[in-house]
Structure 1
Amino acid sequence: MVDWKLAVATATRLVRPGPEVGRDEARAVVAELRTHARASEEHVRAFTGMTPGEGTADTPILVVDRPGWIRANVAGFRTVLGPLLDKMQGRRSGVPGGAVLGAVGGKVTGVELGMLLSFLASRVLGQYETFAPVTRELPGSANGGGRLLLVAPNIVHVERELDVAPHDFRLWVCLHEETHRTQFTAVPWLRDHLESEVRAFLAETEVDPATLLERLREAVQSWAGGRTGEQQGEGEGRSLVELVQTPAQREILARLTAVMSLLEGHADYVMDGVGPQVVPTVAEIREKFQKRRASGAGRLDVALRKLLGLDAKLRQYRDGERFVRAVVDEVGMDGFNRVWTSPNTLPTKAEIAKPAEWVARVHGKPGA
C-alpha cells in the first residue's frame, strides 16, 4: 500500500539543504544541544513536579539532520498505520488486478508521503517520538517508550533567521521538547491512551475507494469555492484532512485535539516558566518566535499549512497554553497536575476553551 523506501528516498531528495555550517561548528552545535537536553531534565522536573517512572531513564536523545528526521518519522508511520494498511490490503486482494494496482498505488503513495515529509523536515525543530520502533540506526528506550529528536540544522536556521542568541535559543527549544519527554515518562498510561485513540481513528477510516473519492471530491469543491449558500457552513474553514473524515472520526479527533492542545500548551507554559531563570533573552526569543510561527515563511507556506491542517497545530499551542495558565493560576501546579491522574481527568475540547469547567469538574469547585 505504501512504498516506504520510496517515501524516504523522495523526501531525502526533495528536502531543502540546511544552513551552511562548518564541520567544527556542526560538532559544537550537536554537543551543545545534548548538554542542554540533559540540563533541561532537571529544570522541567523541578518546575512541574513531575517525576519520570522506573524504566524510563534510558529514553535516548538523538540530534539528527533533516534526512535523519525523515527516516525516523517514516518508521513511526509504518508502526502506527500498520493495521489500517493491512485492512486496505486485504480489501484490495480480492479485487481483480488488485496486486498490480497495489504495486502502482504503493509507489504513488510513497512519492506523495515523501513530498509531504520533505516539506515538514525543514520546519520541525524537535520532536518526542511516542510510537518509535527501535532500530540500530534509531535507538529507543528499552521498554518501548520513545526517543527525543532535535533537528540541528533547523534549530540553527531559525536562530539565525530570528537573530537571537544561539545558546539561549537552543536551551529554550530543549526545554519545550524535554517537557514532552517528561509528560510521557512521568505519566505511564498516556502513551497507551493516545495509541488507542489513534487506532480507533484509523479503524473508522473508509476503505471503500468510491466513498473515499466522493469525500475527497466534496473536500476539493469546498476548498475551490464550489460550495455556496447552504452548502457552506460546517465544512467551511476546515482542512482537507478534516473534510474527508467520517462523523465518528471527528468525535475521536475532538478528543485527540484536546489532548494535543494540553501537551503542546503545557510545553509552551513550562519553557516560558523556566525560561527567565536560565534563558536571559527568553522574552526576545518568545516575541520573535511567535511572530514567525503566526506568519509562516511565505504565502505558499501559509497555504500548505492551512490545507494540511497545520494551522490547527498553531491553535493547539495558543489554546493549550491559555488553559494551563488559567488552571495553574486557579489551583496551583499541584492542582493542575491532577490532569495526569487518568484519561478521565484529561480536559475535553470544550474545557480547553473554558478552563473553569475543568476546574469545576475535577476539583469540585467553581473556577475563576
Structure 2
Amino acid sequence: MNLFRSVRAVADASATGSGTIDWDAVAEASKAATDPGSLDLSSAERTGYAADVSDARERLAVVADVSFDVPDVVEVQNRHHWIDANVETFRRIMRPFEEHGPMVFPGVTRAVNTGTFAFVLSFLGNNVLGQYDPLLLAEGDDDHGLYFVHPNIRRVADSLDVEYPRFRRWIAFHEVSHAAEFGAAPWLSTHLESRMERGVDALIDGDLDRDAFRELDTAMTAVEGYAELLMDRAFDDDYEDLRRKLDERRRGGGPVAKIARRVLGLGLKRRQYERGARFFEYVADERGVAAASLVWEHPENLPTDAELDAPERWIARVSP
C-alpha cells in the first residue's frame, strides 16, 4: 500500500488528458491505497471454492425449481483483481455523464471526480467478499462473472471468529443465488439496464425520472429478497449466527467507514434485502418456492412497489 502514489495519481489526473474522470488514475490510485492481500491458496482451498460453487448450483436448482448455469468466469481474486474488474463497470455506468456532463473547472473537476472514484473502489475492494457481476451496460457478448475476494473472506472469517470453510461456503451460496436469478430470467439484465439508462439520461437533462429509479429499486429489492429466500431454503447449515455477526460488524467501524457506507447506499441495500426477504418468505410459505420463482418468468411478474408490502396482492395477480 502506497498512499503517496495514490495521492500523486489523483493529482496528476488534473494535468493530463481530457474528460471528467481519469480512469487509469482511478485504477492506479485505488490500488495504491489498497493492500492486495494474499492469494496463496492451498490445493484444499482451491478445491473448496470449486466444490462450494458446484454444490450451491445443484442445491439451488432443486430448491428453486429453475434451470441456470454458473458463469464461465469464476475467479478467486485478491483486492487488486477486484478493483481492475470493477473499474470497467464504473466506467460503463459513468460514460453518459462523461459524454454530456458540464466541465466548469476542468482540472479541479477531473481531480475531484478521479479521487472520489478511487476512494470508492478502494473502500469496496477492502470490504467486498463475493460478487455476482451481470456486466450491466457491457458491449458485445461478455459473459457474466462470479468473483470471490479471498483475502477479505479470510480476514472477515477470522474477525468474526467463525469457521473459514463454512463462511466461504455461505458466501458462495449467496453469490450463486444471484446467478440463479439472472439465469432463470434472461430479460433481467436488459430490464435493469433500461431503467438505469432512463434515470441517468434524465439526470443529464437536469430532470429526475422518479419512476425509473423506483422501478430499478423495486427490481433490485426482488433480486436481493429472492436470493435471501434461496439461501434460507438451500444452504446446508443454519447461518443465523453468520448473518448476525456480519451485520454487527457492518454497523461498527470507524467514522470514515460509516460515512462511506452511507454515501454508497449500503444501508439501502440492507433494507432491500430485508423488504424483499419478507415478501418472498410470505409467498413461499403460502404457495411454495416454485410459486415465488414465477417472478422470473417475465418482467410483468415483478412485484410492484405496493405489492412488496402486500404480497397477497402479488399472489392474487400472478399465482391465483
Interval of TM-score (by shorter of Structure 1 and Structure 2): 0.7 to 0.9
- Output aligned runs, 1:1-368, within 5 Å: 1-16=20-35, 18=37, 23=40, 25=42, 28-52=44-68, 59-88=72-101, 101-102=105-106, 105-131=109-135, 143-206=141-204, 246-248=207-209, 250-275=210-235, 278-279=236-237, 282-293=239-250, 295-364=251-320
- CA gap of 1:353–1:162, structure 2 versus 1, over 3 A, is same
Name the SS of the counterpart of 1:23 in structure 2. Answer: coil
Corresponding position of 1:211: none
CA RMSD of aligned residues (A): 2.5
* Counterparts of 2:306 and 2:257, CA distance in 1: 29
For structure 2, the 5+ residue unaligned runs are 1-19
Name the SS of the counterpart of 2:306 in structure 1. Answer: helix
- Alignment length (residue pairs): 301
Corresponding position of 2:9: none
- CA gap of 1:199–1:151, structure 2 versus 1, over 3 A, is same
* Counterparts of 2:41 and 2:191, CA distance in 1: 43
For structure 1, the 5+ residue unaligned runs are 93-97, 135-139, 209-245
CA contact (8 A) 2:73 2:145 kept: yes
* Counterparts of 1:143 and 1:17, CA distance in 2: 29
- CA gap of 1:349–1:74, structure 2 versus 1, over 3 A, is same
Please give the per-residue CA displacement for 1:63-109, whole angstroms capped at 9, x wherever unaligned. Answer: 11111111111111222332332222xx65xxxxx7xx545533331
- CA gap of 1:60–1:133, structure 2 versus 1, over 3 A, is farther
Percent identity of paired positions between Structure 1 and Structure 2: 31
> Shift of the alpha carbon at 1:193?
0.7
- CA gap of 1:75–1:133, structure 2 versus 1, over 3 A, is farther
- CA gap of 1:133–1:151, structure 2 versus 1, over 3 A, is farther
Name the SS of the counterpart of 2:72 in structure 1. Answer: coil
